[in-house]
Structure 1
Amino acid sequence: MSPVPPAPDGPPYRPAGPAPRRPAEPLGRETRYGAAPGRAAASGQERTQVMGMPTGGYRRRREAEETEVLATGPRRRRRQPAEGVTREGRGAPGGPAGPRGPQGPGGRGPRDPRDFADDGKPRRSGWKRFLPSWKLVVAGLTIVAAGMFGMIVVAYMNTPLPSEKDAQESATAQGSVFYYRDGTPIARLGTKRIAIKLEQVPQHVRDAVIAAENRSFYEDSGIDFTAILRSVWMTVTGQQVQGGSTITQQMARNYFNALSKEQTIKRKIREIFIAIKLDKEWSKDKVLEYYLNTVPFGRNTYGIEAAAREFFKVSAKDLTVAQGAYLAGRIQQPGNFDRYEANNNFAPTRERFEYVIKGMAEMTDENGKPKYPNITATAKFPKPRPQVVSEQFGGLRGYMLTEAIKELAKRGISREQIETGGYKIYTTFDKRLMQIARKAVLATTRTMSKEFHAGLAAVDPTNGRVLAFYGGEDYIKDPWNEPFDSKKQAASAFKPYVLAAWLEAGYSLNSWVPGDKTVPDPLPGTLPIGNSHKVPAAIDVIHATADSVNTAFASMAYKLDADAGTIGQLKAVKDIAIEAGLDPKRMEDDIKEHKYQFSIGSALVTPVEQAAGYSIFANEGKHVDYHVIREVRQGSTVVLKEKKEVKQVISPEAAADAVAALEKVLTEGTAAGKGIGRPAAGKTGTNNDEKEAWFVGFTPQLSVAVGMYREQCRTKSGKIVQPKFAGSCPKGSVAREVSLGFEGAGPPTTIWRTFMMEALAGQPVKQFPPKAGIGTPQNIVPSPTPTPKPTPTEEFPYEDFPDIVQGDDEQECQPGEPGCGPVEDPGRHELDIGGGPNGGDGSQQIPLGLGPPASAPTGGVRRTTVG
């Protein structure tokens, strides 16, 4: 038989003749796929082989291989009918195909093994095949939720509740208040906060805050998820911005150091955890108290007490219902409300006020009755007082505050601590005396140009307290504080320290000292020293003091050095000056440079140093360093006590005899006629060319120093221009110290007298201790010298010195006094040994060692004089 040709595309090849029949199979599963009755099911491998074998001898057409996926149930895929064949024409299994045509026996043909790759499960097509099963989704979400819950629990357990001591510095920061010595406030520096107890806050103020910030405060557990969600919703929908934090959360955020201010999820979660724990550990009232003391209200004000004072000038306990509602409404946006109100726009704060009032109207008491039934009708918007923008350092306050801050820094309290520590700083300043000092200075200097500078300092000699001073009119315009900052030559106002050393060394006021020249002459290492007026060859110490004789005091200083074997060191004088409070370095430096000129006042001092230094005379030889801080308190605790260590610098007897000599200055010496009607003593001082002038005087209860100098503003071309204000030259000019045109017995003494007369008015008159008359008389005048013969009635009679010629300083009318102009003395050409306005060398300083001026006679000696 010839081979059967391959079947072309189209109907399969069918041999001629009737097709053979297969035995009919029972209905049910086909034998190819399962067990037929009486037969075991074919294995998977056999089944696959069977499925891969064509039956009936025909190949399936390509179209017949297409299948459709049924969407529901585990139904098998059906073979698409071949072209031209319908479902209705299919015969029963094992029977003829019937009308289906020449396709052979009925029954289903073999299937593609891929149809059963999923073990009978249907496949998804298109995008659906990427969707996970809902069961997997639910299981995954459950696992994630359980994990997150576990993490939250662990995080909560590991978040400790901070200690009350672990507070932010800003949370407890309170500005400090400076007080005069009588308790009157001077100024407040730093954060405006005053902590108070909850009992001091009225109930309606507490309710106002709760209505504004957290209406469920007493019911919630420290957090309010409803409020948080509401806040998010209102923010997303563009409605009024509303915070979602409870009062407890805000308090935790504002108070505890463990919570930063950064806006992060981590910080927010920690805040929630701490708030929950805080609600469990603290009472609601305690949380509210801390909240009311830390929350900001605007205008750099923190806490309800400071806010009440700032906005309504009352204490928190006196706030009305409307005022409390206004302040509570401000908590939401204090900074924004500040800006609105600064532009006179009160609409935002009024709207917030009405919100708070509405919330209070909804509050009920324990019986369910309204707590504020008529509040909406009675509470009217209370317009706050305008913000007072005051410069705390303006005027005289700035000078007081600056000196107080300097002293506190030296004693360990920094400026930052002052602004945040809530200190009560009690100064030594007397408010009345401060005004008297200003009045006394201005009464004398008001008619002078701005070139003239004057500083006054008043110290209590018994304890070193600076009671008053005048440093300038306005610290903001001129921060130079004259009595504390201006270091000028002491001139003859330094001589009392030489007198104290002389008496302390065992020499008496009865001693004879040279009046017309120094002994020796010249003094070693020192330019020749002379006097500004005629003096006899020999003079006693008391009159040498009254007449301010330079040669006498320089010779006395040399005698003390010679006795101690310290020639050129002026050790005895220097030690007493330093013990009296003068700066050690300035004293030592001046001795190195000027030697015995140091004894007549070449060293630089300040008015406040001199006022405190003279306390050794006013207080029986004792000295207390000057200071401006009396006490510092923090709450009820004294954190800084007054520093008033007492030193016995000279003996009481030496002090009494020194006072006896210094009293003569005001009765018959250089400041004669300038007494104050009670026991007083002092010393004038005028340096070379009258560039600096002094008067330092005292009573048993008050020591006062006045120093004056003059600065001219000059351009590079030499043109003199007026300063804008004292101490400030216009641009393009520099300050140069020039002659005042008067001596210490002039305006400085007048200022001193004016101050003392008013300051001591009504005060008891105190007497100095009587003169002790200590020491041994010495004669350090070259022979021949008359021997003093004191009598019981008058120990130092002027008639013992018939050759004394009264000089300018002994005139009744002193230079600079009203009706008495400065005396011109062509013979008073003095070498300038002064310093500049800041304590350094001035631009006008003439170096030591220069020869006589051109106007001096040939061969003449120019003597250094400090009168």
Structure 2
Amino acid sequence: MPSWKQMLGMTVTFFGCLLGAFGIAYVMVTIPPVNPSTQLQNNIFEWSDTSQMASVGQVNRQNVDLSRVPQKVQWDFLAAENSTFYTDSGVDMKGMARAIVDMAKGGDVQSGSTITQQFVKNAYLNQNQTATRKLKEIMISLKIGVSHKLTKDDILQGYLNSNYYGRGAYGIQAAAQAYYREDVSKLTVSQGAFLTATVNEPSVMMNADSDPAAKAAATARWKYVIQRMQAIGKISPSEEQQILAAGFPTPKPAPVANGMSGQVGYLVQLAESYVEQHAHITDQQFNQGGYTIRTTFDKKKVNELSAAVAAMEKKNLNPKARSADKDVQVGAASVDPTTGAIEAIYGGAGYDKGYYVDNANSTGVPVGSTFKPFDLAAAIDHGAVLSPGAAPSPISPDSKFLGNDGIEIKNQQGQYIQDGTDPTGMLHQHNDVDKAWGYITLREAMEQSVNTPYVQLGEYTGYNNVENEALAAGLLRSSLQYDTAGFYIGTSTPSPIRMADAYATFDDNGMHHEPYSVTSVTSAGQPLPGFTPPAGTQAMPASTASNVSDVLQDVVKYGTGTNAKAIGRPAAGKTGTTDDYKSAWFIGYTPQLSTSIAMFKENPTSGTLLSMEGVGGYSKVFGADMPTQVWTDYMGAALDGQPVVNFPPAAQLPKGSDENGAPLPTPSTSITPSNTPSDTPNPSHSNPSPSTTPCSQRPGGCSSPPPSHTPGGDNGGWGILGGQDGGGGPTPSGSQSPGGGAGGGKGNGPGAGGGTD
């Protein structure tokens, strides 16, 4: 047996060797770069009221500055994990000794660690429970503590931001949202104590809202943290009793998949697109995360718009019982007319339902008669060439044009427009019905959505003038379809967002505000430039805008839009329907809000538009029906509690000229304007000749009368209508499965176009 001196010598030698090895390890180990995975964050999207809308990114983490975390919540973690944090060297000496012994035995290391050690494990190393990793953890922790490369606050901040808390949440900000739907700055001591508990057993604590066993374990750990807070003097005994008496702060149910269900997916897509266009950051930087994007979206209005669509569908659509109701879609948008802020959209069934194309922001659905206000605005602004070579004559809403069905249309040179599909070679413009309107004012033609006056008005005003008026109001050139005279009655395919914004230009006295969806973007607490709301531009004289608004108010009071009176406050708007009822629109506004509703039916495979005949049990689907139902339900809810505001009176305009020059004799076939929409021809009135030009001056003469035509769908059209629908909407990127799209269907054949109700 060795003597005690020999035993002592062996022991000293053994520990000396260990300490020597430890010293060599300390010298050799360097502080590595921060693990890149700990720098990955998500991007936070906020509603207009700053509450969180969605968390999107590779990792559900949003790093925050320590100053954002309440002091007592910081101490929740320190009290439970490392109360000597601000005075120790960064290493638990007992834990280190235990680690040395375990290493000597060749076993795995499982011991308590300081906050510094846990931060090092998260930020620089990995979660493997091995002797090598534990030794590195200790060495790096000592070096950080001795070298003071990081302050204690830096370490605590890194620790709180790098922990995994369960529910897919990395970092305390993500945890605050995942468990309590709160910003970290609003956490209470009690909630902080629960989050502290999740760090030790995240897989258990994450179900504390629904699993009794998990709640019991969480409650016990929560009590321990609160008691430790009192024991180290961070809360008083009376505060401890108050917190315990209030009870365990049960977390809210786990959120759904990053909050991307319902309309949120479309809202995030819209905001991301806006950020990419206006921020000076690369896609790689944005995908790295860490940005907070505050949007213009009003959570209440978004929910109300979705509810209005759902109510309409529940009331009218039954795809299981009626095949016509299958594949019907809705797109909608609501814009603040005074700023251009997009407050709500309805993009479709939702990302969670497998539909990834945003109908609110997609083109491809013809707008029909909702385009006519741009014709009227252009004519008021630029006048109309009523006879060849003459200067443009002034036009007002009271100017009269021939409204009969099947009339021939002349251009500014006095030539009749050709249509190769018609046996006569002439274009014969049609209305939805062959009622003999005679000469009617542009106001009444707008009210009753009569096509022929507006096609002729458009030709006399000129393509360029109408196009530029629409562009100035906010439509995009890429969405305008002006290859035929149907341009004037709605062959173009702007998105619902653009149509709501363009009507908002009439609403705001001719001032156009470019639509926008983001008010600020911050990174690491610093705002990025480029997100000042767009300045307004005067798109048209206020007098023009007020007169168009006045006419559109009459559409609601007396015309095809009377169903919109249900909101019980002054409103202006226009209905629109296209060939074969492939789309139906209602766009309307009050002084506070402009909203567009589009409804269409689409082949889910090809993306082409289909007729909506029979949808909802309606033989003909007009914008005055289901789209207006959505509009009135939504606008009534969105404006509830807001004051009733009247539109300003229409400005006085110069006396307008009639189609055949001023003054126009009262035609023998004139009829008394009706104050209600009419879809039935009045047999008591004869159909006057579509032209007053002598036969000798007409191309082709008058050798044969124009053939009888069946109206080409609700939009009128002319000639032999064709179906040339366009292709489908955009294809989703990444791993998303394609859904139906707002297809590019024009619904127009040779010369066909536009729409009325």
- Shorter-chain TM-score above 0.5: yes
Deviations 1:636-694 (A, max 9, x none): 54335343231211111221222233233223333346435443322221111222111
CA contact (8 A) 2:371 2:490 kept: yes
Note the residue ranges of structure 2 that are not aligned, 5 or more in a row.
1-12, 320-325, 384-393, 422-426, 614-619, 681-707, 714-720, 730-741
270, 276, 281: which one pairs with 1:409?
276
- 1:488 maps to 365
- CA distance in 1: counterparts of 2:446 and 2:610, whole angstroms: 28
1:427 aligns with 2:427: no
- CA distance in 2: counterparts of 1:296 and 1:678, whole angstroms: 53
Note the residue ranges of structure 1 that are not aligned, 5 or more in a row.
1-137, 366-370, 562-569, 713-727, 790-799, 816-824, 850-862
Cα deviation for residue 287 of structure 1 reads: 3.2
User: Partner of 1:643: helix, strand, or coil?
Assistant: coil
- 2:143 maps to 276
Cα deviation for residue 525 of structure 1 reads: 7.4
- CA distance in 1: counterparts of 2:309 and 2:291, whole angstroms: 33
- CA distance in 1: counterparts of 2:507 and 2:106, whole angstroms: 77
- 1:541 maps to 442
Cα deviation for residue 199 of structure 1 reads: 6.0
CA contact (8 A) 2:370 2:587 kept: yes
Cα deviation for residue 536 of structure 1 reads: 4.9
CA contact (8 A) 2:164 2:171 kept: yes
Equivalent residues in 2 for 1:306-325 (5 A)? 307=175, 310=178, 318-320=188-190
- 2:417 maps to 523
CA contact (8 A) 1:529 1:550 kept: no
- Taking a change above 3 Å as real, the CA distance of residues 596 and 348 of structure 1, as seen in their structure-2 partners, is same
Cα deviation for residue 620 of structure 1 reads: 1.1
- Taking a change above 3 Å as real, the CA distance of residues 297 and 352 of structure 1, as seen in their structure-2 partners, is farther
1:508 aligns with 2:410: no
Cα deviation for residue 518 of structure 1 reads: 1.2
Cα deviation for residue 617 of structure 1 reads: 0.9
Letter in 2 for 1:760: L
Greater mean deviation of Cα atoms: 420-429 or 455-464: 420-429
CA contact (8 A) 1:192 1:300 kept: no
1:687 aligns with 2:570: no
- 1:575 maps to 468
- CA distance in 2: counterparts of 1:524 and 1:705, whole angstroms: 34
- CA distance in 2: counterparts of 1:231 and 1:576, whole angstroms: 78
- Taking a change above 3 Å as real, the CA distance of residues 343 and 229 of structure 1, as seen in their structure-2 partners, is farther
Cα deviation for residue 171 of structure 1 reads: 4.2
- 1:99 maps to none
Cα deviation for residue 614 of structure 1 reads: 0.9
- 1:628 maps to 517
Cα deviation for residue 706 of structure 1 reads: 1.6
550, 570, 574: which one pairs with 1:660?
550
- Taking a change above 3 Å as real, the CA distance of residues 146 and 295 of structure 1, as seen in their structure-2 partners, is closer
1:787 aligns with 2:669: no
635, 638, 646: which one pairs with 1:756?
635
Letter in 1 for 2:645: K
User: Partner of 2:360: helix, strand, or coil?
Assistant: helix
Equivalent residues in 2 for 1:225-624 (5 A)? 227-228=95-96, 230-231=98-99, 233-234=101-102, 241-243=109-111, 246-252=114-120, 254-255=122-123, 259=124, 272=139, 275-281=142-148, 282-284=150-152, 287-304=155-172, 307=175, 310=178, 318-320=188-190, 328=196, 331=199, 334=202, 385=251, 388=254, 390-391=256-257, 392-412=259-279, 421-446=289-314, 447-450=316-319, 451=326, 452-477=328-353, 478-485=355-362, 487-506=364-383, 507-509=394-396, 510-515=398-403, 516-520=407-411, 522-523=416-417, 528-532=427-431, 533=433, 534-536=435-437, 538-561=439-462, 570-587=463-480, 590-591=481-482, 594-624=483-513
Cα deviation for residue 502 of structure 1 reads: 1.4
Larger radius of gyration: 1
User: Partner of 1:298: helix, strand, or coil?
Assistant: coil
The answer to which structure has the higher helix fraction is 2
586, 592, 611: which one pairs with 1:738?
611
C-alpha RMSD over aligned residues? 5.0
Cα deviation for residue 787 of structure 1 reads: 2.0
Deviations 1:841-863 (A, max 9, x none): 54x957427xxxxxxxxxxxxx7
Equivalent residues in 2 for 1:684-833 (5 A)? 684-711=575-602, 737-740=610-613, 741-774=620-653, 777-781=656-660, 787-788=663-664, 800-801=666-667, 803-804=669-670, 811-812=676-677, 827-830=710-713, 831=721, 832=723
Cα deviation for residue 765 of structure 1 reads: 3.1
Cα deviation for residue 476 of structure 1 reads: 0.8
- CA distance in 2: counterparts of 1:544 and 1:187, whole angstroms: 46
CA contact (8 A) 1:690 1:742 kept: yes
Deviations 1:193-212 (A, max 9, x none): 6544476135862444435x
User: Partner of 1:654: helix, strand, or coil?
Assistant: helix
- 2:739 maps to none
- Taking a change above 3 Å as real, the CA distance of residues 829 and 331 of structure 1, as seen in their structure-2 partners, is closer
Deviations 1:555-602 (A, max 9, x none): 3333333xxxxxxxx222222222322222232xx23xx232212211
CA contact (8 A) 1:178 1:187 kept: yes
Q: Which structure would you say has the larger RCO, counting Cα contacts within 8 Å and 6 or more residues apart?
A: 2
- Taking a change above 3 Å as real, the CA distance of residues 351 and 476 of structure 1, as seen in their structure-2 partners, is closer
- Taking a change above 3 Å as real, the CA distance of residues 462 and 335 of structure 1, as seen in their structure-2 partners, is same
Q: With structure 2 as the length reference, what TM-score do the two structures score? A: 0.69
Letter in 1 for 2:669: D
User: Partner of 2:352: helix, strand, or coil?
Assistant: coil
- CA distance in 1: counterparts of 2:108 and 2:210, whole angstroms: 22
User: Partner of 1:482: helix, strand, or coil?
Assistant: coil
- Taking a change above 3 Å as real, the CA distance of residues 544 and 649 of structure 1, as seen in their structure-2 partners, is same
Deviations 1:325-368 (A, max 9, x none): 7755654575698799999876997899699889979x989xxx
Deviations 1:430-476 (A, max 9, x none): 23333332343333332323423233322111111122233345431
Deviations 1:708-755 (A, max 9, x none): 12346xxxxxxxxxxxxxxx68xxx98761233222233323432333
CA contact (8 A) 2:608 2:744 kept: no
- 2:692 maps to none
Paired positions, count: 637
CA contact (8 A) 1:488 1:837 kept: no
- CA distance in 2: counterparts of 1:275 and 1:543, whole angstroms: 85
- Taking a change above 3 Å as real, the CA distance of residues 453 and 233 of structure 1, as seen in their structure-2 partners, is same
- 2:8 maps to none
- 1:38 maps to none
736, 750, 757: which one pairs with 1:848?
750
Greater mean deviation of Cα atoms: 701-710 or 179-188: 179-188
User: Partner of 1:679: helix, strand, or coil?
Assistant: coil
- CA distance in 2: counterparts of 1:404 and 1:801, whole angstroms: 55
CA contact (8 A) 1:488 1:835 kept: no
- CA distance in 2: counterparts of 1:354 and 1:779, whole angstroms: 82
CA contact (8 A) 1:436 1:758 kept: yes
Cα deviation for residue 493 of structure 1 reads: 0.9
Greater mean deviation of Cα atoms: 454-463 or 235-244: 235-244
- CA distance in 1: counterparts of 2:311 and 2:208, whole angstroms: 46
CA contact (8 A) 2:329 2:599 kept: yes
Cα deviation for residue 411 of structure 1 reads: 3.0
- CA distance in 2: counterparts of 1:613 and 1:630, whole angstroms: 21
Cα deviation for residue 610 of structure 1 reads: 0.8
CA contact (8 A) 2:363 2:743 kept: no
